[in-house]
Amino acid sequence: MTGFGPGDVRDVPERWHTEDAEEVFAGHIFRVRRDRVRMPNGQGTELVGRDVIEHPGSVGILALDGEDRVLLLRQYRHPAGHYLWEAPAGLRDVEGEPLHVLAARELLEEAGYRAGRWDVLVDVFPSSGMSDERTRIFLARDLVQVPADEIDFERVHEEADMPVVWVPLEEAVRKALAGELHNMIAVTGVLAAHAARAGEFAGLRSVEAPEG
């Protein structure tokens, strides 16, 4: 792919031909299908098997207060076998719900805050080699704490006990680079927010911006 310059380094949609597909697993949140994909190999094409995790997608929220602190909450993650400090997040489990509305709901339910300003921070495929999951991470500012008795939501299971802390953004960056934070949304959001702040948040997109 010669001739590509810095201006051409952009992800673009592409779909190689799938000869056939079969569902091999159906769970509560995601499904797994096995595709046979026709791939170019320089001398024609070949059929290659690929397992794909079908995921509804998610949103994450990097909440930044007036003192340049980020909100993190701790949650047990069984597959990873860790307590992780994470940014608030949630599944896209309501058909047609705008993503910033979902993000606002998750910030309220998980952390007890509302935000007066929302911007898109980054869009990512968390595990593009195996899953079609898309995650949009928002930056939430102008935060107001909501009294617990005004929140109509009951936390259960892993969410039943999620302590919340405020960490200075510079310290959160240090923790991410030191390997003390591992959650994808938290690490990506912290580093992206730090970079965006350096540019006075000038390059952020509106909440209606397409994911591409």
Give catalytic residue positions.
159
Concatenate the DSSP letters of all residues of 21-58 into one string. EEEEEE-SS-EEEEEEEEEE-SSSEEEEEEEEEE---E
Q: What is the rounded CA–CA span in Å between residue 107 and residue 100?
A: 10
Residue 142 CB neighbour total at 10 angstroms: 12
Evaluated on CA atoms 121, 127, 96, 103, the torsion sign reads: negative
Q: What is the rounded CA–CA span in Å between residue 183 and residue 49?
A: 30
Q: What is the rounded CA–CA span in Å between residue 195 and residue 205?
A: 14
User: Does residue 91 contact residue 58 with C-beta atoms inside 8 Å?
Assistant: yes
